[in-house]
């Protein structure tokens, strides 16, 4: 799309945005992929429409506040990136745009406080854990609370487990075949500590030693995707200091959103002094299923014990795994490698579940519609188990599947592998 | 005549007002239809001024009708306000058809999506906003399909297909959209609703392919057919573009009636390969994709062999798809050509010529030579079985001369006309090829077309600036 975006005044992020706008030929192939277009059926709430809006705002032809409602509804799921034949890096565009536009936004004091609270609590596992446990007691009050407070409570499990800090070093079992660094993540440490415990066990079992480098923190994705660029930059730089890519075969994450966030570092630092460091770092980042999928493809993955009975597993593609990282085959391959497991494909599998980082908190109505639709689609396959590779999807799907009265366990792919190794599947 | 605005930044782009459209039309429509169906904010209207090729004028208001009655009300309100009316589907068109040439009312049909399948009559009843692919998806459980399959079939609407008389790879054997329409409903320029069939005066036929200039199609009765039991796919690649066209002519002359016969040149293959990474032959000058289908496997395979022999005699290398999945991947490649070209240059001028098959080798060579002699990247692909070619000129409007692009497009159109061809096979004339109509159509016929336009749209309110060049202007 031809544009007059004033790149000279916008710097590195301006280049990122102008490049993406340039690449769009407004063909409309993205429309059927977009969850908000599916729900709302209008052009402004489609990827193509949003690109036009961002271009107009950047060129000065449209006030930011006019475009904002439509841009805020974008989940950042990047299904449009998968669908786009022209190669438009839409994810980079919306992220850079949010970072550029947030300081110019006029927000109500309530809105401002809510966003500040989210960005304070989410990246701090201990604070989050306390908040989640307080929230679990407030759950009975949910029906009488305003939507903004109700939606986070709805997502909390009935029982919030105690924190289980992971050891800084987990040795390899048997012959040492590799050494990886691991990002422990934030909210999931509080909500689902077993994700990390299972990850460490499975890696160790495969002869991989795992280091949890000191000084690491939140990946910064939540801050970045909500436009809090300065906060995000602090977190990004802290992680660049904590992880030395030369020391490890890979830098692993088991949360799709975090992994995608880590892979975005070169874009975040485009045109800045740390760009080369960010590239070296990002080149080592892998999702846990991508890494183990590599072992499976090489024929070096330790075989698991068979499932105790034939199990149908509905695998949900997390947007930040499938669309943002292009990781689709590996989690399915890993599940299929367990004797007795059949992987089921979910109708409308490419459509976001509505969790999308903080979307549940910011756009509860659309998030709920998508969550209901996703749960319905999953349950139409009649699974014994539901698998995904992202904490956000996990809580959203669990909440909506339960609401629709189904008790099928919702698990991380790695938890299923872990159970299979232990003969407990 | 003024040259076409080929870029995003046309004069009409920057509207003076920010925020809502405080005009009587928007207010009137909101009163009649309620706020949900009427868009009047600038941020909303800005998004209803383009299709997949061109940006036009920002509309004064946009209506998203949910019923035929809404369309009638909207047309009447626009008529009362004296503003033009542009119908719009998913705006994936490639000739500027859905991009308004002046500010007015845009009626976007994306919410009119009622679809009913009548298996006993082998018919589908589809409102204008039904997605093309949805018709086959709904018909398939009844053992039926809807064959017209434009590359954009996941996005485009039936209404848009009807307006452009869209084709697609299947059209060589099975025909284009118009061949599957039994009846349709349309709202005329005065807001009157009509239901027409294909008998008496074939008014339905007149509306199909009229690009919204004669009426607004709201619903259609579509013919469905059972799908062929067997399909086989091959890909052939050639060291020269003309050889590919020779193979096509020879295969058809030998009696083959493939269901699909598609061609991509080297630049297309490489653009798609950059996107999908399928292992297409990047070095070949031309790639041919062929499907044969039918209910008898031996016949289907014999037919594929006829094509394979013709390809090999023309110097091509043939590869048969081993599995259905491999065939599907190859077809996905072909469907992605058009937008994947955006990876090469940000803007393009899309031609849609059709020439007699016997002229194909000369035509593709002449167009290749025109491209090579120009400063632009020129690529060719298309439904070569029908003689339908899409030469595309790729350019960067910030660095390259858009007038020169227009001139090259004109020369390509003249090649087609010289060989007995026409300007449009499936994408319409729109605003992109309107200038070339004076070369393609004699003055007497143009006058007849204008008379038809005036008869159905006396105020010239429906999609002005499309298809017909202004009267009294000679080429």
Residues of chain A positioned with their CB less than 8 A from the CB of B155: 28-29, 31-32
Q: Average pLDDT, stretch A249-271?
A: 93
Interface list for B 111-140 with A (CB within 8 A):
111, 131
Q: How much is the pLDDT for B348?
A: 86
- The CA distance from A201 to the nearest CA of chain B, in Å, is 36
Q: Does A24 touch chain B (CB under 8 A)?
A: yes
Residue A145 banded pLDDT, cuts 50, 70, 90 = low
Helix or strand or coil: residue B17? coil
Residue B474 banded pLDDT, cuts 50, 70, 90 = very low
Helix or strand or coil: residue A251? strand
Question: In 3D, which of B468, B371, B360, B458 has the Cα closest to residue B416?
Answer: B360
A41 to B155: CB separation less than 8 angstroms, yes or no = no
| Rg for chain B, CA atoms, rounded | 22
A85 to B336: CB separation less than 8 angstroms, yes or no = yes
What is the reported pTM?
A: 0.90
pLDDT digits (tens, 9 = 90+) for A289-315: 999 999 999 999 999 999 999 999 999
State the distance between the two ends of chain B, measured CA to CA, in whole angstroms: 9
Q: Does A39 touch chain B (CB under 8 A)?
A: no
Comparing CB atoms, the residue among B92, B108, B398 nearest residue A28 is B92
SS (H, E, C) A197-234: HHHHHHHHHCCEEEECCCCCCCCCHHHHHCCCHHHHHH
CA of B8: which chain A residue's CA is closest? A2
pLDDT digits (tens, 9 = 90+) for B271-314: 888 888 888 999 999 999 999 999 999 999 999 999 999 999 99
Query: Lowest-pLDDT range, A22-26, A107-111, B62-66, B353-357?
Result: A107-111
- The CA distance from A171 to the nearest CA of chain B, in Å, is 39
Interface list for A 42-71 with B (CB within 8 A):
42-44, 49, 52-53, 56, 61-63, 66-67, 69-70
Q: How much is the pLDDT for B443?
A: 94
Q: Average pLDDT, stretch B258-280?
A: 90
pLDDT > 70? residue A144: no
Q: Average pLDDT, stretch A119-124?
A: 73
Q: Average pLDDT, stretch B130-140?
A: 97
CA of B15: which chain A residue's CA is closest? A61
CA of A37: which chain B residue's CA is closest? B110
Interface list for B 372-431 with A (CB within 8 A):
397-398
pLDDT digits (tens, 9 = 90+) for B174-187: 999 999 999 999 99
A324: CB partners within 8 A, 6+ apart: A78, A81, A91, A256, A260, A263
DSSP state of B358: G
State the distance between the two ends of chain A, measured CA to CA, in whole angstroms: 52
Comparing CB atoms, the residue among A23, A42, A49 nearest residue B342 is A23
Residue B398 banded pLDDT, cuts 50, 70, 90 = confident
pLDDT > 90? residue B216: yes
Q: Are strands B105-108 and B85-88 parallel, antiparallel or unpaired?
A: parallel
Q: How much is the pLDDT for A86?
A: 87
B64 to A44: CB separation less than 8 angstroms, yes or no = no
pLDDT digits (tens, 9 = 90+) for A365-409: 999 999 999 999 999 999 999 999 999 999 999 999 999 999 999
pLDDT digits (tens, 9 = 90+) for B338-387: 888 888 888 888 899 999 988 998 999 999 999 999 999 999 999 999 89
- The CA distance from B276 to the nearest CA of chain A, in Å, is 8
- The CA distance from A310 to the nearest CA of chain B, in Å, is 28
CA of B334: which chain A residue's CA is closest? A85
Residue A140 banded pLDDT, cuts 50, 70, 90 = low
Q: Does B299 touch chain A (CB under 8 A)?
A: no
The whole-angstrom separation of Cα A44 and Cα A74 is: 10
Q: Does A146 touch chain B (CB under 8 A)?
A: no
Q: How much is the pLDDT for B464?
A: 97
CA of B38: which chain A residue's CA is closest? A42
Q: Are strands B216-223 and B123-127 parallel, antiparallel or unpaired?
A: antiparallel
The whole-angstrom separation of Cα B279 and Cα B282 is: 8
Q: Are strands A285-287 and B216-223 parallel, antiparallel or unpaired?
A: unpaired
CA of A67: which chain B residue's CA is closest? B43
- The CA distance from B19 to the nearest CA of chain A, in Å, is 7
Residues of chain A positioned with their CB less than 8 A from the CB of B13: 61
| Rg for chain A, CA atoms, rounded | 21
Contact B421, B387 (CB under 8 A): yes
Tokens of B83: 């503003």
Residue B20 banded pLDDT, cuts 50, 70, 90 = low
Q: Does B109 touch chain A (CB under 8 A)?
A: no
Question: In 3D, which of B79, B34, B78, B37 has the Cα closest to residue B59?
Answer: B78
Optimal mutation site among B155, B160, B392, interface A, most CBs of chain A within 10 A: B155
The whole-angstrom separation of Cα A94 and Cα B217 is: 36
The whole-angstrom separation of Cα B165 and Cα B178 is: 6
Looking up tokens 């064959």 gives: B147
CA of B18: which chain A residue's CA is closest? A62
Q: How much is the pLDDT for B15?
A: 41
Residues of chain B positioned with their CB less than 8 A from the CB of A3: 8
B340 to A28: CB separation less than 8 angstroms, yes or no = no
Enclosing H/E stretch for B118: strand B115-118
pLDDT > 50? residue A338: yes
Sign of CA dihedral B390, B393, B396, B401: negative
**For A20-150, where are the E strands, in sequence order?**
none
B43 to A4: CB separation less than 8 angstroms, yes or no = no
Residue B471 banded pLDDT, cuts 50, 70, 90 = confident
B346 to A1: CB separation less than 8 angstroms, yes or no = yes
Assembly ipTM: 0.91
């Amino acid at each position: 799309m031809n544009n007059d975006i004033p790149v000279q005044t916008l710097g590195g992020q301006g280049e990122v945005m102008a490049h993406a706008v340039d690449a769009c030929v407004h063909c409309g192939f993205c429309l059927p992929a977009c969850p908000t277009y599916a729900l709302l059926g209008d052009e402004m709430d489609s990827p193509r429409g949003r690109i036009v809006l961002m271009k107009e705002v950047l060129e000065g032809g449209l006030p930011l506040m006019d475009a904002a409602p439509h841009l805020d509804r974008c989940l950042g799921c990047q299904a449009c990136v998968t669908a786009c034949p022209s190669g438009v890096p839409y994810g980079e565009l919306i992220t850079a745009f949010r970072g550029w536009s947030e300081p110019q936004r006029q927000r109500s004091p309530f809105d401002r406080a809510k966003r500040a609270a989210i960005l304070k609590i989410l990246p701090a596992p201990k604070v989050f854990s306390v908040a989640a446990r307080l929230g679990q007691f407030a759950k009975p009050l949910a029906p009488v609370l305003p939507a903004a407070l109700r939606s986070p409570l709805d997502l909390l499990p009935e029982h919030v487990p105690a924190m289980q800090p992971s050891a800084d070093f987990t040795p390899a079992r048997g012959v040492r075949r590799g050494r990886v660094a691991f990002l422990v993540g934030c909210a999931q440490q509080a909500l689902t500590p077993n994700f990390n415990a299972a990850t460490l066990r499975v890696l160790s079992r495969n002869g991989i030693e795992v280091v949890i480098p000191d000084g690491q923190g939140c990946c910064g994705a939540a801050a970045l995707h909500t436009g809090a660029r300065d906060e995000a930059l602090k977190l990004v730089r802290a992680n660049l200091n904590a992880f030395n890519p030369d020391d490890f075969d890979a830098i692993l994450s088991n949360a799709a959103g975090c992994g995608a966030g880590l892979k975005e570092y070169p874009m975040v630092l485009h045109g800045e002094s740390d760009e080369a460091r960010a590239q070296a770092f990002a080149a080592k980042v892998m999702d846990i299923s991508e890494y183990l999928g590599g072992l499976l493809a090489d024929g070096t993955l330790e075989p698991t014990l068979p499932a105790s009975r034939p199990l149908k597993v509905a695998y949900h593609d997390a947007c930040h795994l499938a669309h943002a990282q292009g990781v689709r085959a590996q989690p399915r391959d890993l599940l299929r490698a367990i004797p007795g497991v059949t992987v089921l494909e979910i109708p409308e599998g490419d459509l976001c579940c509505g969790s999308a980082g903080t979307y549940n908190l910011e756009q509860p109505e659309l998030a709920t519609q998508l969550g209901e639709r996703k749960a319905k689609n999953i349950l139409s396959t009649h699974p014994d188990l539901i698998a995904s590779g992202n904490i956000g999807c996990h809580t959203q799907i669990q909440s909506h599947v339960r609401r629709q009265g189904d008790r099928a366990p919702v698990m991380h792919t790695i938890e299923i592998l872990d159970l299979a190794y232990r003969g407990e599947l | 005549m003024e040259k076409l605005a080929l870029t995003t930044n046309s004069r009409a782009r920057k509207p003076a007002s920010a925020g809502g459209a405080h005009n009587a039309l928007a207010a009137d429509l909101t009163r009649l239809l309620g706020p949900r169906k009427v868009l009047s904010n600038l941020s909303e209207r800005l998004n209803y001024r383009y299709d997949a090729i061109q940006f036009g004028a920002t509309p004064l208001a946009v209506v998203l009708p949910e019923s035929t009655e809404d369309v009638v009300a909207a047309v009447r309100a626009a008529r009362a306000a004296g503003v033009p009316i542009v119908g719009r589907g998913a705006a994936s068109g490639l000739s500027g058809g859905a991009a308004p040439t002046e500010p007015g009312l845009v009626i976007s049909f994306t919410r009119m999506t009622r679809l009913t399948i009548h298996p006993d009559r082998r018919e589908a009843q589809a409102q204008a906003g039904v997605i093309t692919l949805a018709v086959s998806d709904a018909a398939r459980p009844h053992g039926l399909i809807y064959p017209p399959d434009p590359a954009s079939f996941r996005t485009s609407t039936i209404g848009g297909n009807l307006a452009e008389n869209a084709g697609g790879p299947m059209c060589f054997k099975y025909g284009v959209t118009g061949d599957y329409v039994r009846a349709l409903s349309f709202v005329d320029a005065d807001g009157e609703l009509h239901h027409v069939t294909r008998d008496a005066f074939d008014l339905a036929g007149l509306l199909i392919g009229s690009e919204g200039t004669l009426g607004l199609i709201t619903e259609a009765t579509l013919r469905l057919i059972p799908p062929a039991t067997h399909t086989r796919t091959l890909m052939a690649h050639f060291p020269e573009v003309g050889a590919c066209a020779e193979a096509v002519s020879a295969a058809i002359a030998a009696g083959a009636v493939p269901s699909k016969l598609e061609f991509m040149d080297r630049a297309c293959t490489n653009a798609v390969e950059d996107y999908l990474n399928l292992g297409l032959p990047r070095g070949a000058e031309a790639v041919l994709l062929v499907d044969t289908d039918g209910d008898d496997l031996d016949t289907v395979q014999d037919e594929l062999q006829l094509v394979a022999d013709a390809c090999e005699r023309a110097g091509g290398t043939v590869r048969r798809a081993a599995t259905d999945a491999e065939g599907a991947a190859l077809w996905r490649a072909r469907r992605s050509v058009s937008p994947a070209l955006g990876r090469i240059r940000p803007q393009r001028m899309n031609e849609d010529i059709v020439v007699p098959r016997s002229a194909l080798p000369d035509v593709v060579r002449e167009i290749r030579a025109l491209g090579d002699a120009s400063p632009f990247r020129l690529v060719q692909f298309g439904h070569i079985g029908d003689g339908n070619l899409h030469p595309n000129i790729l350019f960067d409007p910030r660095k390259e001369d858009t007038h020169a692009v227009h001139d090259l497009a004109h020369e390509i159109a003249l090649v087609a006309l010289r060989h007995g061809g026409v300007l449009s096979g499936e994408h319409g004339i729109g605003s992109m090829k309107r200038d070339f109509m004076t070369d393609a159509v004699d003055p007497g016929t143009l006058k007849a077309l204008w008379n038809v336009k005036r008869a159905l749209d006396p105020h010239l309110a429906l999609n002005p600036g499309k298809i017909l060049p202004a009267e009294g202007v000679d080429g």
